[in-house]
Structure formats: C-alpha cells, structure tokens
Structure 1
Amino acid sequence: MLNITVRGHDLSGVASVKDLAEHTKKQGVHNLQLALGMSFPDMPSGAANLNPGMGAAIKRELANEDVQVGILSCYINMIHPDLEIREQLLQKFESYLRHARYFGASMVASETGCVLPEIQYTEDNFSDEAFADMVGVIRRLVKAGEEAGMLVGIEPGLNHPLYSLERVEQLLTAVQSDYLGIIFDPSNLITNEDYQHQVAMVERAFERFGDKIVAVHLKDFKVEDDQIIPVNLGEGLIDYAAIARIIAKHKPLSYVVLEETKDDHIGRALQLSLASEAKP
C-alpha cells in the first residue's frame, strides 16, 4: 500500500486553508506536501514569520476535512554563491525545522541547490568542490533537525550537486544521522537517453540506501525535443505499476507525492494507484 500525497500548489482555486482542505478531500487524498509560499502567496512565511499558532491553526483547519501535512516544503538554493543570501535561506530552513511539528509535519524538504544564483542545469554542480560545499551545509541543517527532532528530507536531481545514486551514498556516508532522509524522485535523475531504465534505477536506489528513503515523488513525464517534460500521472512514460510495487515492498505506506499531477487528474491518479494495488 502507498500513502498517496499531493502538493498543495498542484490544486488550483485555493485561496484559504479551508479551500485547500476541501480541494484535497475532494480528490480522495488525506496527505499534503505543503509549500506555504506557493499555496498562500499573500501569507508571510519567511524565517521570522513562522510561529506555533500558525502551524496549529493550519493543522486544525486541515483536520476538519481529515487532511494532514505530511511534508513541509522549504525548497531553497542551499549553496547559493552569495553567502549573505545563502545565510538568509539557511536560517529560513532552520526556522521551518523548529516549527514543522506545529503543522503536524514529519519532515522539512528541500533540494540541494546550485552553484549559480538560479537553479538550473550546469556541470559545475558536479565538481567535488560543489559536493563538499553541499555536505557542509547539509551537516549544519541536520544538526538543526536533530535539535528540533525533525527529519531533513533531501531530494536529489540532475540540476544539483546531489545528481546520482553514487553521490547520495557519499552524502549518507559523510552525514550519518537518523535525522537525514532522502526524498527520492526517479524522474529527477533520468534523461532522454536512459529513461527506459527507470525501474532498474529505482530498484538500485532501494537496494543501496532504501533505509534512508523517507518519501517518494512520482512525476510522470514525456520526452519532447530531447527533454524530460512533466505530465499528469498516467499520461506519460513512467512505469507506475512497477515502481509502485517496489515502493510498497520496501516502504509500505510511505508518502508518495504525485508531483505535477494537478486538480481532477489527482483523483484519476489515485484510482490508478488503487487498481495497481489490487493486481497480484
């Protein structure tokens, strides 16, 4: 079984926490990955704005519709080249770690960023220097997570220094903590040249560091002009059934986030999930 989760900002027409709760329930889903600034752009959600009352109020409103925050998003460029900006971003993430429990979240999530100011693909991210810089930052954030009793969920991707299964293993060796987990998105680690091997890659990931995988993103895709383009789950090339079986085998009831699947397509994806689980 899988614990299907949606990103709050994949639901349109949401102007309030009440709207978010109702739209999530309408799709038959009970778990959210919540990015405050993306779901509620008019609500201040910086490092100094989070507070226990905010978390408790959002948690209470969502619970009215049997919805909860599983993952609190704080996606930042944690290796931003401007050290003053970087410090502000890291302090924001640390604030999210301190306050996540009031929202009911089990982890705070981020990717690892980019050596450039804007996150994008560059082979400069693949250097040992960029990796070492990233490790130092994650070590700091994990320490803050340990102090707050909150998991730090790190998502690898080709646009980041954490760009391969090998680099993930190196990170986990360098930062050994029960409070560091991996949010695994197989579509973030494939290209137009190797997407046919997606299932084998997922199997390798669970074999090599499955004990550290704390959530999975399922992002369907198509290949267009040699690029991986996200689409709603069930409309692309991801081998959903095979990957779902691997997740269920290794991490039953794990959070599985339907990233880039939007609005009423979420309900259809949930039916796809249920149908997959019903097959022997």
Structure 2
Amino acid sequence: MLNLTIRGHDLSGVKTVQELAGQTKKQGVHNLQLALGMSFPDMPSGAGNLNPGMGAAFKRELARADVQVSILSCYINMIHPDPEIRERLLQKFEGYLRHARHFGAAMVASETGCVLPEIQYTEDNFTDAAFADLVGVIRRLVKAGEEAGMLVGIEPGLNHPLYSLERVEQLLAAVESDHLGIIFDPTNLITSEDHQHQVALVERAFDSFGDKIVAVHLKDFKVEAGQIIPVNLGEGLIDYAAIAAIIAKHKPLSYVVLEETKDGHIGEALKLLGASEARPSFHL
C-alpha cells in the first residue's frame, strides 16, 4: 500500500494554485511534490519571498480538493564552486525549511549538486574532497532542519557526490540526525550497462538504510544511445511491480512520486500500480 504522489510540474497548463488543486484531484491523487519555481515561474519564490501567508494560502486551496503538499522541492547546487552563489542557494534552502510547515509539507527536498557551476556528469564529483565538502554543507542544512522541526530530504544520483549506496551510508554515518532522510530514486543510480539489476539495487538500499528512506521516486526509463531516458510509467524498462512491492513491504504508505509521468499518463500509471500492488494485511 503506497501513498502515491505526483510532481506539480508534471501537470501541463497549470497557472494558479486552484488549477493545480483541481488537476491533481482530477488525476485521483492526494499528494504533491511541489516545486514552486517550476509550477509557478512568474511567482517570486526565492529565499526572501516565502512567508507564512503564502504557505497557508497554498495549503488552504489544496485542502479544498483533498490534496496536500507532501514534499516541498528546493533543488539547488549545494556545493556550487562560487562561494557567494553557494551561500545564496543555501540560504534559500534554509528559508524553505523555515516555511515548509506552513505549506503542510513533511520535508524539503534537494539533490546534492555538482563541483561545477552547472550540474552535469563529472568524475570530479567522486573524489573524497567533494564528498567531505558535501558532508559539511548537509550538516549545516540538517542543523537548520532541526531548528525548524523539518526533514531534509536528500536525493542521491550519479551526477552528484552522493553517487552510490555506499556513499549514502557514509553520509548517514557522518551526519547522524533524525531530521536527515533519503529520497531514493533508483533510476538516478543506474546506467545503460547495469539497469537490469534495478530490483536488486532497491533491495540493497532498503536493507542498508531503509530506516532513513523518507520517500521514493518511481521513474520509468528507456535506454537510447547508451543513455537512460525518462518516460511515462509503463512505457519503459522499470520493474515497477517488484519495486512497489519492496516499498510496500518495508515502508507501507510511504510517499512514492511518479516522477516524469505526465498529464493523462498519470491515470494509466495509477491503474498499473493498483493492479500490481500487494495488498497489506492491515486496514486503515
């Protein structure tokens, strides 16, 4: 049994929070991962723009459609090489942590970034120095999360210093806090050469640090010219039934985000997951 979630910016043509609420309800979903700047690019949503009233307005309008913000996105390059830019980005994330509760969110989410100004694949991310830098930054953000009473949700990926299950374990050992959680996206950690082992990867993750997994991204994919390309759920190679069963076993009612599944394809994804989902022995 899963708490299925969609990203607000996977719904096309949404210009107001009322439209976001209505379109989410129309899809039969109750949970949103909300990236303010992506869903509402014309609305200021920087470090100094968030405020309790904004959060309350979003929460109120979404609640009328029986929808809530489960995850507030603040994806930044938290190890940006320019110190001034990095400081602005970290202050933005800290602002999101302070105000997330007004939106009703359970956590603020980000990937870890890149040693280069633009996030991209580089082996320079894989050095011990880059990882040590990252640990220091996450310690700072987690301290802010503790002060705000908010989870910091960190998403690993191959384009980042947090590029493997082993690095995740090292991070969790270095930053011990109940306010640090992992948003696990298995598609972010596979390549065209090893994607056949995706289910084993998920099993290993839950065995290694399942207690720290606070949400899962379920992102289908295909392989083209040696690259992993996201597609709507059910159109690619992800073994969604096996992965959903693992999540339901270890983390019943966990937030599972249908990342990159868009518009009318969301309903089809819900049908696929509903048909494959193992039913729990408990009742709500």
CA RMSD, Structure 1 to Structure 2 (Å): 0.8
Q: Identify the residue that residue 148 of structure 2 maps to in structure 1.
A: 148
Within 5 Å, give how 1:180-219 maps onto structure 2: 180-219=180-219
Q: 1:201-229 deviations in whole A, cap 9, x for unaligned?
A: 00000000000000000000000000000
Q: Identify the residue that residue 136 of structure 1 maps to in structure 2.
A: 136
Q: 1:158-202 deviations in whole A, cap 9, x for unaligned?
A: 000000000000000000000000000000000000000000000
Where 2:144 maps in the other structure, the secondary structure is helix
Contact 2:245-2:278 at 8 Å conserved across structures = no
Distance in 1, matches of 2:10 and 2:215, equals 18
Q: Identify the residue that residue 40 of structure 1 maps to in structure 2.
A: 40
Within 5 Å, give how 1:152-163 maps onto structure 2: 152-163=152-163
Distance in 1, matches of 2:169 and 2:116, equals 24
Q: Identify the residue that residue 121 of structure 1 maps to in structure 2.
A: 121
Matched, 1:178 2:178: yes
Q: Identify the residue that residue 224 of structure 1 maps to in structure 2.
A: 224
Normalised TM-score (structure 1): 0.99
Q: Identify the residue that residue 23 of structure 2 maps to in structure 1.
A: 23
- 1:278 deviation in Å? 5.6
Where 2:45 maps in the other structure, the secondary structure is coil
Distance in 1, matches of 2:109 and 2:267, equals 24
Normalised TM-score (structure 2): 0.98
- 1:277 deviation in Å? 1.6
Q: Which runs of 5+ in 2 are unaligned?
A: none
Q: Identify the residue that residue 7 of structure 1 maps to in structure 2.
A: 7
Where 1:176 maps in the other structure, the secondary structure is coil
Q: Identify the residue that residue 248 of structure 2 maps to in structure 1.
A: 248
Where 2:277 maps in the other structure, the secondary structure is helix
Q: Which runs of 5+ in 1 are unaligned?
A: none
Where 2:100 maps in the other structure, the secondary structure is helix
- 1:279 deviation in Å? 7.2
- 1:46 deviation in Å? 0.3
Contact 2:218-2:256 at 8 Å conserved across structures = yes
Matched, 1:272 2:249: no
Q: 1:130-172 deviations in whole A, cap 9, x for unaligned?
A: 0000000000000000000000000000000000000000000
The one-letter amino acid of 2:202's match is V
Q: Identify the residue that residue 106 of structure 1 maps to in structure 2.
A: 106
* Distance verdict in 2 for CA 1:279–1:214, change over 3 Å: closer
Distance in 1, matches of 2:40 and 2:226, equals 34
Contact 2:192-2:223 at 8 Å conserved across structures = yes
Q: Identify the residue that residue 258 of structure 2 maps to in structure 1.
A: 258
Where 1:247 maps in the other structure, the secondary structure is helix
Find runs of 4+ consecutive structure 1 residues off by over 3 angstroms.
Answer: none
- 1:66 deviation in Å? 0.4
The one-letter amino acid of 1:81's match is P
Contact 2:219-2:231 at 8 Å conserved across structures = yes
Distance in 1, matches of 2:198 and 2:279, equals 21
The one-letter amino acid of 2:267's match is G
